[in-house]
Amino acid sequence: MSHSAHIRSHRKPRRSQSKLALRAGVAGGFLSTLAVAGAAGPANAAEPATETIELPTLTEGLSTQTAESAAQIQQAADTYELQATRETATERAVKQAKKDQAAAERKAEEAKKKAAEEAKEKAARAAEQRANRSSARTALTPVATPSSGSVSTVISFLKAQLGKPYVMGGTGPSSWDCSGLVQAAFQQAGVSLPRTSQEQSTAGTQVSVSSAQAGDILYWGGAGSAHHVGVYLGNGQYLDAANPSKGVVIQDLSGYPASGAIRVL
């Protein structure tokens, strides 16, 4: 047996040391370690002891959840912003529509008032014209019934113009229009008639066509608005400056019935 087998060491007992390392993983993957060393254990411990404690690490999972939460918050914010934008646009559209409607209503009201004023003015002018025509007829000096010779004079003059051409505005002696011929014919009998057919249709005493006599003026159209005149010859015939294709002719009243008759002789 060895002599040194049971001989104790003369060295002083070494204190055992323990180390505690604390590592905490945080959401960015940061690891921090805290080592705490202290003397402990029985004096006869042969070897130092070391302990390491790991704390649960918050790793990529928490980072992902945080990112997802941020994305959801951002999406909600975008949704609210979009909704607010739409609501603002709708409000603006409603306001603009109300303004447009109000403007259209004002324009319609103005147009209505203008149309009413124009209609009123038109009616007033028409009434004035009717009154003027009525006054002219009232102021007309009755023409005395002439002798039969005056009617013969008118008819003789008219027949002398047969075959001459019709020309608008013609007053003879080589061409005539309807009222120019009638005016000239009655001038031969000393009767002064207006120039136009409209005026001639109110220039004497109104008589029915059925009771017309030779020498009466026939007119077509309304009294005061006639568009053609001629002179009744009797026996259902009349003489007139008809149109450019016929000229001055004698025609049957049955083929072109007159609207009325005026007696001035």
pLDDT for 33-58, tens place per residue? Answer: 434 344 444 444 445 545 555 545 55
* Confidence (pLDDT) at 109: 86
Tell me the pLDDT tens digit for each residue of 96-129: 988 888 888 888 888 888 888 788 777 777 766 6
- Over 60: is that where the pLDDT of 169 sits? yes
For 205, the enclosing helix (H) or strand (E) is strand 205-207
- Over 60: is that where the pLDDT of 147 sits? no
Q: How far, in Å, CA of 106 to CA of 164, rounded?
A: 63
Place of tokens 């000239």: 184
- CATH class of the 143-263 domain in this structure: alpha beta
Q: Which residue has the higher pLDDT, 248 or 40?
A: 248
Most distant CA pair in the chain, distance: 198
pTM here is 0.47
Q: Which residue has the higher pLDDT, 138 or 60?
A: 60
Query: Within 10 A of 10 (CB to CB), how many other CB atoms are there?
Result: 5
Residues of the chain with CATH 3.90.1720.10: 143-263
Of 168, 188, 190, 189, whose CA–CA distance to 179 is shortest?
168
Tell me the pLDDT tens digit for each residue of 195-245: 999 999 999 999 999 999 999 999 999 999 999 999 999 999 999 999 999
Query: Within 10 A of 166 (CB to CB), how many other CB atoms are there?
Result: 21
